Structure formats: C-alpha cells, structure tokens
Chains A and B, each alone.
Chain A
Amino acid sequence: MNHHGNADLEAPRRESRLAMARELLALLEAGDDEAADQQLVAMCGEMDSALFHEVGRLTRELHEAMNGFLLDDRVSEIALHEIPDAAERLRYVITTTEQAAHATLNAVERSLPLAEELRDGAEALGEAWDRFRGRRMTITDFKSMSQDISAFLDLARGHSSALQTQLSEVLMAQGYQDITGQIIKRVIELVEDVEKRLVNLVRITGDRYQRGGDHTDPSVLEGPVVPGVVSGNVVHGQDDVDDLLSSLGF
C-alpha cells in the first residue's frame, strides 16, 4: 500500500538482515550446523512476522473503514429520511412556482382587457374631443360627448382600481421566491453533505475508480442551460440558434 515509506523502513530492516546473514555465514564456516539451522529458522520467522504484520494492518484498516462508513448514523439518516424529504421539498418547489406563475397569469389575463377598454375609450373620446376643438361639433354631439366623458371617468375610476388590485396580486405572488429559495438552500446543503461523504468513500476504496471522462449520453435531453454548469456543445441564446440554422441553409 504505502510505497513511499518503504525506503525509510527498509534501511534498519536490511541492516538487521545483513547482520543475521553474516552470523549465519560465520556459523556455517565454523561448521556449527546446529546453530546455523537455528539461525535460518530465526531468519524465516522474521520474514513471516513482517508479512503477517502487514496483512494484519491492512485488514484492520479495511475493517475500520467499512465500520466507519456503515455505522455512520448520518449515512442511514440521509438515505432513509433526508433524501426522500429533499425530493418531497423539491416537488413542493415545483407546485409553489407553478401556483405563483398561474396567479400572475390570472392577474395579467384579467388586466389586459381592462387596459384595452381604457385605451379604446380614450381613443373614442380623443376623436370627439378633436372635433370639438376644431369647432366641427354639433350641439347634439356635444351633449353626447359630455355623457361619454362622464361614463369614461366612471370607467377609468373603476378600471384603474381593478388594475391596482390585479397588480397587488402579481406583487404578492412573488412571495414564492423567498419560500422556494429557503427550501432549495436546504436541499443544496444536503447535496453538499452527501458529496463530502461520497468523496470520502471513494478515497477509502483507493484509486480503483477512474475519475473524469465525458459521461454525457448524447440521447439524454439536458433541459435548460445552467450558467456555470458545463453542458457540452450548447448554443447560447436565440442568436446562436439562428446562426446555426442559417448555416444549415435555413
């Protein structure tokens, strides 16, 4: 495992082995076979114990790593509760933003005809008013215009206060940003927590997993482009689309 530390560890071990080998040589040259045998057994034992020591260390490390990961309360908490909760929260974000969009659209759809009526009324009156200023109006038309003016003032009063109500609805509908912002922030924190733990797991298991590489499947729809998130060969805005289309003969 740890190849960097070997040079330091090897030096004293090599010294002790050399010493043992010299002793063995001396015993053999002296013809003391019994002592030489004992010396050989001692040397093999030293080798075995180093191997057992290393295997033991690796086993202990693996055991601790597995226990550390499996017995981490946070991991089971995340898997059992927080991720399902996060999914539920994000679904709520979709519902809330959808409701806000519909509330805004409702107000806009109610406002547009009011604005249209105001414009039409002002246009009709403007026409009559021009005739009056140009002294091209009969007394009967003038009477009818004064009635129209009264009616228009009533209409303007009513419509502008109705428009005010609709604009307040639009204003209030924007409250979704605060709510969904807070919910999304919580989910981001969870994602970052999970990321940290996954990185740790990858670290524990060593470099067996190849990192990097382009894993994007061309057939998968990517949805909206998010600034800061690299999403491959994408166009940026309608002008880019138009350029591409015209290069294709459109």
Chain B
Amino acid sequence: MHTTSGLSITTNEREAPLDKNMKILIVDDFSTMRRIIKNLLRDLGFTNTHEADDGNTALPMLKGGGFDFLISDWNMPGMTGIDLLRAVRADPSLATMPVLLVTAESKREQIIEAVQAGVNGYVVKPFTAATLEEKINKIFSRVAA
C-alpha cells in the first residue's frame, strides 16, 4: 500500500531501511535521462517508478495521488522543476513529499533558490549511481529522523 506523504512512509516502515515499493515519479524532458534514472532505481530495488516529461504533466499525476517521492530535472519546457517543486510545496496534500532535484544547473544562487523552495536533495548532472543512492538514503533517513 502506498501513502501520499513521505512522512507516513517512515511511520509505517520505521524499522525497514526503505520502502522499496514506494511510488516514485521521475520528471525529465529527455527520455534517455528518464530511462537512466529508472534503471538506476531498479538496480536499487525500486520498481514502482513512473515518468513525466515536464512539470505540467507531472503535477496532475502527483495530484492524482499515491506518489511517495519525486525526482525532477530543473530545466524543462513548459513547467520547470523549480516551479513544480513550489507547486508541490503549495499543495497541502503534497507539501511533505520528499523532492530530489537532478539537474545540470549548477549556479550557487540556483542551489540556494532550490533550498529556499524546500528541496530535499540536489544532485548535479553528470552523476553516478552511487551519488543517487546516497542522496535517496540521506533524504529518507532525514525524513525518518
């Protein structure tokens, strides 16, 4: 069963390190990057992954419910990742969802902007499988704490 917020995952699964069944939305305008992230997540044991190609397609999916974790690119046509993050934080039913930005944007001001918008983790492209795993573990151990 899936929960709508990151916080309730940890109350259900306090002992388990991570709920491998959690429903994850991957948002990137490049289908190859979505496939890479999807494959890396499957290697880590997460198979319940879904895809969207920008914020405009992602937001209705998220509002449709059931998602536990959002991994998004920043620079996308339509709605960008930072705007999606703000929309998620502004929606009471999604506000506590953990969000990881995976992006090539690497200006210091942008990272600070993302933190101010309430991001839970920030990975710069190009990244490694180990980095992605480390950040996901960190996000959920923090959410659990």
Interface, chain A (partner B; CB < 8 A): 98, 101-102, 105, 108-109, 112, 218, 221-225, 231-238, 241, 244-245, 248, 250
Nearest A residue (CB) for B126: A224
Are B32 and A102 within 8 A (Cβ)?
yes
With A221-B75, A224-B125, A245-B115 as contacts: A233 and B109 at CB distance below 8 Å:
yes
Which of B31, B35, B108, B131 has a CB less than 8 Å from the CB of A235?
Answer: B108
The 8 A-B residue pairs with the shortest CB-CB distance in the complex, in nearest-first order:
A101-B32, A224-B104, A221-B75, A234-B106, A235-B106, A233-B108, A105-B35, A234-B107
Bound CA–CA A218/B110 (angstroms): 9
Size of chain B's interface in residues, with CB distance under 8 A?
25
Q: B1 to chain A: closest CB distance in Å?
A: 28
Are B105 and A238 within 8 A (Cβ)?
no
Interface, chain B (partner A; CB < 8 A): 30-32, 35-36, 39, 74-75, 80, 104-112, 115, 122-125, 127, 131
Are B74 and A241 within 8 A (Cβ)?
no
Are B39 and A109 within 8 A (Cβ)?
yes
Are A223 and B111 within 8 A (Cβ)?
no
With A105-B35, A235-B124, A238-B123 as contacts: A221 and B109 at CB distance below 8 Å:
no
Which of B32, B75, B80, B110 has a CB less than 8 Å from the CB of A98?
Answer: B32
Are A237 and B122 within 8 A (Cβ)?
no
Are B124 and A241 within 8 A (Cβ)?
yes
Complex interface: chain A residues within 8 A of B124 (CB): 235, 237-238, 241
Are B39 and A221 within 8 A (Cβ)?
no
Nearest B residue (CB) for A102: B32
Bound CA–CA A109/B38 (angstroms): 11
Bound CA–CA A209/B71 (angstroms): 45
Bound CA–CA A250/B31 (angstroms): 30
A and B contact pairs by CB, cutoff 8 A, 25 listed: A98-B30, A102-B32, A102-B35, A105-B32, A105-B35, A105-B39, A109-B35, A218-B109, A221-B74, A222-B105, A223-B75, A224-B125, A225-B106, A231-B107, A233-B107, A235-B111, A236-B106, A237-B124, A238-B123, A241-B124, A244-B108, A244-B112, A245-B115, A248-B112, A250-B115
Bound CA–CA A52/B35 (angstroms): 73
Q: B32 to chain A: closest CB distance in Å?
A: 4
Complex interface: chain A residues within 8 A of B35 (CB): 102, 105, 109
Which of B36, B105, B125 has a CB less than 8 Å from the CB of A105?
Answer: B36
Are A232 and B107 within 8 A (Cβ)?
yes
Q: B112 to chain A: closest CB distance in Å?
A: 7
Are A222 and B107 within 8 A (Cβ)?
yes
Bound CA–CA A223/B123 (angstroms): 14
Complex interface: chain B residues within 8 A of A250 (CB): 115
Nearest A residue (CB) for B33: A101
Complex interface: chain B residues within 8 A of A238 (CB): 123-124, 127, 131
Complex interface: chain B residues within 8 A of A218 (CB): 109
Q: A2 to chain B: closest CB distance in Å?
A: 45
Are B115 and A221 within 8 A (Cβ)?
no
Are B111 and A245 within 8 A (Cβ)?
yes
Complex interface: chain B residues within 8 A of A232 (CB): 107
Which of B31, B39, B111 has a CB less than 8 Å from the CB of A102?
Answer: B31
Nearest A residue (CB) for B81: A221
Since A241-B124, A248-B115 are in contact, a sample of 13 more A-B pairs with Cβ atoms closer than 8 Å, ordered by chain A residue number, is A102-B35, A108-B39, A222-B105, A222-B106, A224-B125, A231-B107, A233-B107, A233-B109, A235-B108, A236-B106, A241-B111, A244-B108, A245-B115
